[in-house]
Structure 1
Amino acid sequence: MALAVAQAIDRREALVVEAGTGVGKTYAYLAPALLSGGRTLISTATKALQDQLFGRDLPAVCRALGLPARTALLKGRSSYLCLHRMEQARYLLEPHERYLHQWLDRIEAWSRQTQSGDMAEVPGLDERAAILPLVTSTRENCLGSQCPQFRACHVNQARREAMAADIVVVNHHLFFADVAVRESGVAELLPAVELVVFDEAHQLNEIGVQFLGVQVSSGHLLDLARDTLAHGLQAARGLRDWSALAAGLERAAQDLRLAIGADRRSTGKRRWHNAAPEGVDAAEWAAALDALADALDHLCDGLHGVEEHSPDLARVAQRAHELAQRLQAIREPEADARVARWVELGAGLRLVLTPLDIAEAFQTKVLARDGAPSTTWVFTSATLGHDDALSWFTEPVGLKDARTLRVASPFDYAAQAALYVPPHMPAPSDPGHTDAVAHAAWGWAGRIGGRTLVLTTTLRAVKRIADAMTGWAEAQVPGTLVLEVLVQGQAPKRELLRQFERAGLPGARGAVLVASASFWEGVDLPGDVLQLVVIDKLPFPPPDDPLVEARTRQIEHEGGSAFTRYFLPEAAVALKQGAGRLIRSEHDRGVLVVCDVRLRRMGYGRKLLAGLPAMRSVESDAAMWGELDALVTTTSTTAHPPV
């Protein structure tokens, strides 16, 4: 892989590499990147991987090669402390919000000693903490060069360091935010780099469509109303009826939510094909949208002529205009556009319009931009497709002509791992399937003392399985081994994995982790800590998801089979991702269980099996228990240390 990357750098070409677990893909692109002497931009899937690459892998390769390199870490502006907004936060907080006042005190104390301003450095601060929006900035509310703290700004400091560095590490979200609005600093970096590497590239398309689409949320609207009132009263009191302007926008945002339905507990996505989302009265919906558009126009008119009173008010006026334009774009999408539109209900309301893939935008806005033709592009991940052309990845990203390479994992899967598909498990459509998975997984986990990850395809299954297991754990006889049940959502992902690791150490009680979504990837637990991965169902995309449905319609409109071209490849890649959680080093041993009889009984199951590592097959319940007993009686030499 390293040789292929070196050749791509020499030829200034695009290279797509599927590198199996254990290949060492990070070192394989870092070594030729450093040896080439050119400037490199590396994009990773998440901020956690970004920190790992910058803080561990990159320094290790620099030391090994004896090559000093200037390196920089660049995150989105919301990852950095905003000194101006921290000062303003005191005016925005209500006296009764004691918890937020306490956090603000801690952040103010930390701000006096931090060099980077990276909020990830604040001890004990959850990435979902309510204080964060009050002390960080967004593109919408940043004052730019008019900010009184512009010279001391941590975001600007990070950008200056990035412009002077040889290797810059960003993440996919930041990259696409920049592609969409050219505001993060990556736009200035791209023409000046010889090599761009996308690690965990399998996430590019799904992350890209989020940023290349258009969104308006109740959060956007309520934040705008709050800032209008606060900054209006602070800088232009008496010049406008700020309370009425803010209240009008808040009321319009709330009425739009009510037009969907009064039940605040209703969550999920609703298709929006025609005049209104499914199940919504078209006349009421149109009236609510008209009222929201009028409220935004009224706010824009009210701000006209007073923006110059403060940079904050000028920014509020710009945000109001942008939201009005976004709302119009969502209401009236182009008739021939390849887009999906829907309404998402959760804590608030979100109107969404996205492209079906990023192929056109990636070609025109990234690969063909100024300076790009002289740039080398490397895309890599452990899972990029089920064929040698890696078409699952290359087609939606617009890289059909790129050079591709598949590098197999060096692990001996036949010796290290076994695959079991329980023959008597109810069919996935059977109402009793989830309960059967919970019961079986609990028994298997008990045999090996925990060390079990249960991956489900829905959050509903997470709750049902976790509730069942928690009940069984509480009913166990005192004095016997009581497994700990860890559940997605109880704590941040990183903290849950730490708890799971500690529970799997020798002498600990053992744990079962039940999770979905993001836990299908990004879980790296080598050694004896994780020895059993249980997958409840084949991970086909949900057919009722608006984006999935729109992609299905497009394929069928072109005369293709949506199942063959979309659903099956998506399931193959996702299944491979989930299976990849089991074996993480050459010493690991374990069992993968897929509780879906379709994997053995349906014709397409052979294609899905072919995409998995070549594990030995377990054919019966008795053989399964034998595999588990073998794991108990054999101790690996690579038990994972506590973190």
Structure 2
Amino acid sequence: MPLEQEVREVFAQGGVLSHAADQFREREGQTQMALAVARTIEQGGVLVVEAGTGVGKTFSYLVPALLSGERVLLSTATKTLQDQLFGRDLPRLVTALGLPVRTALLKGRASYLCLHRLDLARHDASLPERGSLRTLAKIEQWSKATRTGDLAELPGLDERSPLIPLVTSTRDNCLGAQCPQFKPCHVNLARREAMAADVVVINHHLFFADLAVRESGMAELLPSVRVVVFDEAHQLNETGVQFLGVQLGTGQALDFARDMLAAGLQQARGLVDWQQLVAAVERGARDLRLAVGKQWPGAKLRWAGPAPEGVPAAAWEDALGALQQAFADAARGLDTVSELSPDFVRLQDRAQQLAQRAERFAEACALGSVRWVDVGTQLRLVESPLDIAEAVRSRVLKTGGAEPEEDDDDAQGRAWVFTSATLGDDPKLRWFTEPCGLEDAEVLRVQSPFDYARQAALFVPRVFPKPNDPAHSQQVALLAARGAGALGGRTLVLTTTLRALRTIGEAMKAQFERLEAGQRPEVLVQGELPKRVLMDRFREGASEGRAGCVLVASASFWEGFDAPGDALQLVVIDKLPFPPPNDPLVEARSQRLESQGRSAFGEYSLPEAAVSLKQGAGRLIRRESDQGVLVICDTRLVAMGYGKRLLAALPPMRRIEGEAELDAEIAALRR
């Protein structure tokens, strides 16, 4: 039976899915997408699908992929989505379809416990405070029972724990086949299972890390796969450019110095002056940081000349040269003891790589790339391509005249599917396809099945402080607090900056102090607790007799945060999410468009804002039964000509005018 016909029968009313999935009903858009995926699998080629919220895109690509009988690689945006796909969606569908399919989950090194590093941490006298010792004991106990070594399975482990880098490996410090724990290594076990599986679930970071350094085992895996699906594909470009450039951090230098000192004193004390080598690396890193001077935390310094903007060139070049020399000296010192332990061989490789990166940053920036310095407690030197288009064409799709690699001669017949709820605001989805090198792909847009006009309302205040007015964040907090107070929480406030996040969070807490304790919504602010804890607490809402929650968040909460039902009924967005114009990468992309005679605002800034706004608005309605109100506190949406384009990118919610109408809408939700 042709694959398309099999797929159509599975999605039909009364078909396999109607018995397997809760509340399944036949959706035209879901079937349309599934059939397009089936055609692409049969014929090969590239398909880009924007599938609106509620379409059910996961089943739309999983069903044809599983029924095809081909080996399949699935890539998601985050490890959380990976776990959901592997632990919930895939098993449910494999069982429903009755297929003898082997599945595997593959993450990056930092997700798995390293047994060798755990052993080193036990003897590390420089461990942080007592809490870390308790966490280490907990990890040790868990290590005896876990099969996978995936730290996501360890309950109560804070993803921000300073202990995690000490018990996981990196490409830099992994000993490979020389490791005393090579045989039971969790990373190697995960890779072996991936090589033996029919369906492998990875994430975008792992895919591009491998594309950059050919290290994660994907080099052997990808040639054996015929169907590749990227879910949440809107993150591909920004994820890819992180890995396809070059980075050097003072934090990296200090980590290397710490590892070198620990290995030297434990295994070769007295044979090399470890203290001197470590001191030189630490001094080089410190001097490089001091050369930059005082800067706003999170600042990005443009770097077009010999030194970053505003940094004295002589001091910068001297510090960078000294750091490069310190790495080179460390490599020579490590070479003299390399026969004593595989730790020293790996440390020597790291020292040489770090020296090469420092030397690279002493030279001019590569053509077609942009260079800058991220400033925090540490420095991060970054050189990045402007997009991933060339890498995708030449190294992923193997098109544009590129010769397929010897072990990948089936590249031309492979099926590639890229999908997300948000891929642009024009029919050809150029916001996504151009920077990803997919201009020749088949493009399909499938509308959401939700009745937005009935389920949701949009309010944009016409009288409100301008976005750059110092009073703006306070007014956002007052408006959000009024709505959250009436709803008993159930409110998500999305901000475009961390400064606004803090201001709005504090102002809302102050507003609620006036309410009686039992009626006071709990204000959760991103950064105060681990992300997973914040999401779980918010979804619990007003359970156990407590008032509901308000979550004030930025960045990562604009997407991937799902709170269906009554837990979330009001979403407040503080400003239009335009890309920051002073960001070096944004600036370089804009300049490239202008040099081509194109409009940077119309073809870059506006589409970026439209996609982000659509993502944020998408947090509100997650099911057919959800109802809610979206408030966007930016008068430019109704006052400026480009506002129409941004409004058109949003789901077709009914518009409400005036705060009295807003109050009535919220009161109706409360009832």
Query: Is the TM-score greater than 0.5?
Result: yes
| Structure 2 residue matching 1:51: 3-state secondary structure | helix
> How much has 1:121 moved relative to structure 2?
1.4
Structure 1 residues 270 and 63, CA gap change in structure 2 (3 angstroms): same
> How much has 1:407 moved relative to structure 2?
0.4
Match of 1:338 in 2: 368
AA at the equivalent of 2:42: D
In 2, Cα distance between equivalents of 1:272 and 1:159: 39
Matched, 1:53 2:120: no
In 2, Cα distance between equivalents of 1:158 and 1:2: 30
In 1, Cα distance between equivalents of 2:530 and 2:428: 37
> How much has 1:349 moved relative to structure 2?
1.1
Of 198-207 and 423-432, deviating more is: 423-432
AA at the equivalent of 1:191: P
In 2, Cα distance between equivalents of 1:267 and 1:43: 30
Structure 2: runs of 5 or more not aligned:
1-32, 399-403
Matched, 1:374 2:413: yes
2:156 to 95, 100, 124: 124
Matched, 1:79 2:111: yes
> How much has 1:331 moved relative to structure 2?
2.8
In 2, Cα distance between equivalents of 1:396 and 1:300: 39
1:483 to 508, 514, 521: 521
Matched, 1:361 2:361: no
Structure 1 residues 573 and 100, CA gap change in structure 2 (3 angstroms): same
2:439 to 387, 390, 400: 400
In 1, Cα distance between equivalents of 2:44 and 2:544: 50
Cα contact 1:269–1:345 (8 A) shared by 2? yes
**What's the CA shift string for 1:535-554, capped at 9, x where partnerless?**
01110000011111111111
| Structure 2 residue matching 1:534: 3-state secondary structure | strand
AA at the equivalent of 2:381: L
In 2, Cα distance between equivalents of 1:231 and 1:513: 45
Match of 2:532 in 1: 494
Matched, 1:594 2:626: no
1:453 to 492, 501, 521: 492
2:322 to 286, 291, 297: 291
Match of 2:644 in 1: 606
Matched, 1:38 2:70: yes
Structure 1 residues 395 and 206, CA gap change in structure 2 (3 angstroms): same
Match of 1:4 in 2: 36
**What's the CA shift string for 1:609-643, capped at 9, x where partnerless?**
1111111010121111111111111xxxxxxxxxx
Cα contact 2:142–2:154 (8 A) shared by 1? yes
**What's the CA shift string for 1:223-266, capped at 9, x where partnerless?**
111111122233333222111011111111111111111x4874
| Structure 2 residue matching 1:307: 3-state secondary structure | coil
Cα contact 1:81–1:154 (8 A) shared by 2? yes
In 2, Cα distance between equivalents of 1:96 and 1:27: 45
Cα contact 1:521–1:578 (8 A) shared by 2? yes
In 2, Cα distance between equivalents of 1:269 and 1:522: 26
2:462 to 413, 423, 427: 423
> What's the TM-score once normalised by structure 2's chain length?
0.92
**What's the CA shift string for 1:169-205, capped at 9, x where partnerless?**
0001111111001110112111101100000000000
> How much has 1:474 moved relative to structure 2?
2.1
In 1, Cα distance between equivalents of 2:564 and 2:543: 12
In 2, Cα distance between equivalents of 1:209 and 1:71: 29
Matched, 1:548 2:586: yes
Match of 1:306 in 2: 337
In 1, Cα distance between equivalents of 2:129 and 2:495: 38
> How much has 1:427 moved relative to structure 2?
1.6
Cα contact 2:317–2:362 (8 A) shared by 1? no
Match of 1:67 in 2: 99
1:348 to 346, 356, 378: 378
2:620 to 582, 592, 606: 582
> How much has 1:339 moved relative to structure 2?
1.2
| Structure 1 residue matching 2:373: 3-state secondary structure | strand
Matched, 1:440 2:479: yes
Match of 2:201 in 1: 169
Match of 1:470 in 2: 509
Matched, 1:153 2:153: no
> How much has 1:507 moved relative to structure 2?
4.3
Structure 1 residues 479 and 92, CA gap change in structure 2 (3 angstroms): closer
2:663 to 625, 628, 636: 625
Cα contact 1:216–1:352 (8 A) shared by 2? yes
> How much has 1:432 moved relative to structure 2?
1.4
Matches within 5 A, 1:100-249: 100-249=132-281
| Structure 1 residue matching 2:121: 3-state secondary structure | helix
In 1, Cα distance between equivalents of 2:542 and 2:72: 39
In 2, Cα distance between equivalents of 1:403 and 1:78: 36
| Structure 2 residue matching 1:2: 3-state secondary structure | helix
> How much has 1:274 moved relative to structure 2?
1.1
Of 365-374 and 512-521, deviating more is: 365-374
Cα contact 2:306–2:364 (8 A) shared by 1? no
> How much has 1:32 moved relative to structure 2?
0.2
AA at the equivalent of 1:246: V
> How much has 1:69 moved relative to structure 2?
1.0
> How much has 1:296 moved relative to structure 2?
1.2
Of 347-356 and 227-236, deviating more is: 227-236
In 1, Cα distance between equivalents of 2:283 and 2:203: 37
Match of 2:573 in 1: 535
> What's the TM-score once normalised by structure 1's chain length?
0.96
Cα contact 2:490–2:550 (8 A) shared by 1? yes
AA at the equivalent of 2:161: A
1:268 to 299, 302, 305: 299
Matched, 1:24 2:59: no
2:423 to 384, 387, 406: 384
Of 19-28 and 240-249, deviating more is: 240-249
Cα contact 2:495–2:575 (8 A) shared by 1? yes
Cα contact 1:93–1:101 (8 A) shared by 2? no
AA at the equivalent of 1:174: L
In 2, Cα distance between equivalents of 1:205 and 1:267: 22
In 2, Cα distance between equivalents of 1:51 and 1:206: 22
AA at the equivalent of 2:579: P
| Structure 2 residue matching 1:308: 3-state secondary structure | coil
Cα contact 2:481–2:512 (8 A) shared by 1? no
**What's the CA shift string for 1:138-165, capped at 9, x where partnerless?**
0000000111111110110000100000
**What's the CA shift string for 1:91-134, capped at 9, x where partnerless?**
22337743222222111111111111111111211111111111
In 1, Cα distance between equivalents of 2:469 and 2:141: 56
Structure 1 residues 428 and 179, CA gap change in structure 2 (3 angstroms): same
In 2, Cα distance between equivalents of 1:170 and 1:189: 11
Structure 1: runs of 5 or more not aligned:
634-643
Cα contact 1:505–1:529 (8 A) shared by 2? no
In 1, Cα distance between equivalents of 2:512 and 2:604: 40
Q: CA RMSD in A?
A: 1.4
In 2, Cα distance between equivalents of 1:342 and 1:311: 35
